[in-house]
Amino acid sequence: MRSVREGAFKKMRFLSLFVIPFLVASGVAFGEVPEGFEQTLMQGSLYLGKTAPGHKVFYKEQLVMQTAEGDFVIGFGRDAELEQSYIVETPNGQRTTYVLQLAPRDYKIQHIEGVAGKYVTPPESRLLRIKNDNRQIAEARANRTPRNDFLDGFLQPVDGPITGVYGSQRYFNGKPRRPHYGLDYAAPVGTPVLSPAAGKVVLAHTDMYFSGGTLIVDHGMGITSSFLHLSKLLVKRGDIVQQGQPVAEVGATGRVTGAHLDWRINWGSVRLDPELIMRDYPVGSEPESESVLSP
Ligand SMILES: [Zn+2]
């Protein structure tokens, strides 16, 4: 069983090194595969591509935003379909479909005991507040701005042992709940949280029901970082922050069993894996975009 799975994974890994040009009715096109492109795309990954000026990119029939240089990103969620595709349209209307193969993930199961009952099943009287929190978070993440801060890579926002990973299926006091989408670092209350990349603060809230002190930074093209359970916010909405700048302090606010930072990365509403993003977009090395310059 195990060897079959591993074999399948290796095959996926191999396939994922390439953008596979797809035959379309209008003709045949070949995507250029740059040498040295080593990103293994998988569920939770952020894909970086590049087109020529004037070309449009569509994913799931939506126009994908590009930087002035033609860089664009597509994010894949925890349970994304393994075969993905996007379309590049030339200025004269010729469309080419590019197929991406994602490697599947195995997610952990995490049992958390000692969670206060009001956070496992919130009382009716809090539902309006929770709905309002969720609306503000969704609005902040729906931003699509032409910033390209993400191209400088992502640094780890806080020092500390990892106590929770992306994708794990969670049980609170034995009750199954939504998967965990953040990367948790245990750290004492008051530890500075550094912005992993430059950006613009799009949400700064001191007291949300589940996430307590909450900060969201827009890194451009729909990519945002969210920081949860903060004890203190050092910036306000609208502020421009630099990579490595202290933006908040670790806390134990909202639904927590101890002080920690919960860091999330989104592409719009799609939740990505911060560990993969740090691996694929390290600070100090130009990220390799896949060139898909159509003929
Ligand atoms: Zn967490």
- DSSP H or E stretch at residue 27: none
Distance 180 CA to ligand 1 centre (A): 6
Distance 262 CA to ligand 1 centre (A): 4
Distance 59 CA to ligand 1 centre (A): 29
Distance 179 CA to ligand 1 centre (A): 10
Q: How far apart are CA 172 and CA 170, in angstroms?
A: 6
Distance 181 CA to ligand 1 centre (A): 7
- What pLDDT is recorded for position 293? 52
User: pLDDT 10s per residue in the chain (295 long)?
Assistant: 333 333 333 333 333 334 444 333 222 223 333 334 456 899 999 999 999 888 999 999 999 999 888 999 999 999 999 999 999 999 999 999 999 999 999 998 888 788 778 777 888 888 999 999 999 999 999 989 989 999 999 999 999 999 999 999 888 888 888 899 999 999 999 999 999 999 999 999 999 999 999 999 999 999 999 999 999 999 999 999 999 999 999 999 998 889 999 999 999 999 999 999 999 999 987 666 666 654 3
Distance 221 CA to ligand 1 centre (A): 24
Distance 155 CA to ligand 1 centre (A): 18
Distance 162 CA to ligand 1 centre (A): 10
Distance 70 CA to ligand 1 centre (A): 34
Distance 263 CA to ligand 1 centre (A): 7
Q: Which residue has the tokens 């990119």?
A: 57
Sign of CA dihedral 199, 205, 209, 211: positive
For 15, other C-beta atoms within 10 Å of its C-beta total 18
Q: Which residues surround ligand 1, an ion (CB under 5 A)?
A: 164, 182, 184, 262
Distance 174 CA to ligand 1 centre (A): 17
Distance 165 CA to ligand 1 centre (A): 8
Distance 140 CA to ligand 1 centre (A): 19
Half-sphere exposure of 77 (CA within 13 A, CB side): 9
Distance 92 CA to ligand 1 centre (A): 47
Token pair listed for 118: 């009001």
- What pLDDT is recorded for position 3? 34
Distance 77 CA to ligand 1 centre (A): 17
Distance 236 CA to ligand 1 centre (A): 23
Distance 237 CA to ligand 1 centre (A): 23
Length of the chain counted residue by residue: 295
- DSSP H or E stretch at residue 141: helix 127-141
Distance 108 CA to ligand 1 centre (A): 14
- Structural domains in the chain? 4-105 (2.60.40), 109-279 (2.70.70.10)
- What pLDDT is recorded for position 175? 83
Distance 183 CA to ligand 1 centre (A): 6
Largest CA distance in the chain: 61
- What pLDDT is recorded for position 278? 95
- What pLDDT is recorded for position 291? 67
Distance 212 CA to ligand 1 centre (A): 12
Whole-structure pTM over 0.85, yes or no? no
